[in-house]
Amino acid sequence: MYQDEQIIEQLGISELPQDEQAEIVNEAQVRIGELISSKLTDEQVAEYQAIIDGNSDVISSWLDKSIPDYKNEVVYQTFEEGVESDPEHNDPAKLFASVAWVQLTVPDIQNVVAEALETFKQELAVR
């Protein structure tokens, strides 16, 4: 998904103080999440929430069903390498599943994010 810097750039808020940027980015992320959620079924929302919450049974099941060879994926291996620097906060299967789930379930994610940010940008302009 979008990084904070991309959101700042797309919203055109780079000249604002950092604390205001952070507040606007947080609100933008909420808007993006709401728009994505509105396009999902209740079951999909529950499944993604379980992945985000680190439910290892759901993560393992989803990965085995959707991407059985996930441990050979470059993105997974990158997440796995990061565990060494912060093992308590990095679960490569969870991180990979959360990214892959969105990519597979919301294939037009870039358009959804762009739509949410454009709507939010227009709202910011009238504030």
Over the stretch 50-94, which tens digit does the pLDDT of each residue have? 999 999 999 999 999 999 999 999 999 988 887 766 655 678 999
Structural domain boundaries in the chain:
1-39+107-127, 41-105
Mean pLDDT, the chain, integer: 91
Give the pLDDT of residue 47. Answer: 97
* CA angle, residues 107, 69, 102, in degrees to nearest 5: 20
CA dihedral 93, 56, 101, 33 (to 10 degrees): -110
Give the pLDDT of residue 80. Answer: 86
pTM above 0.85, yes or no: no
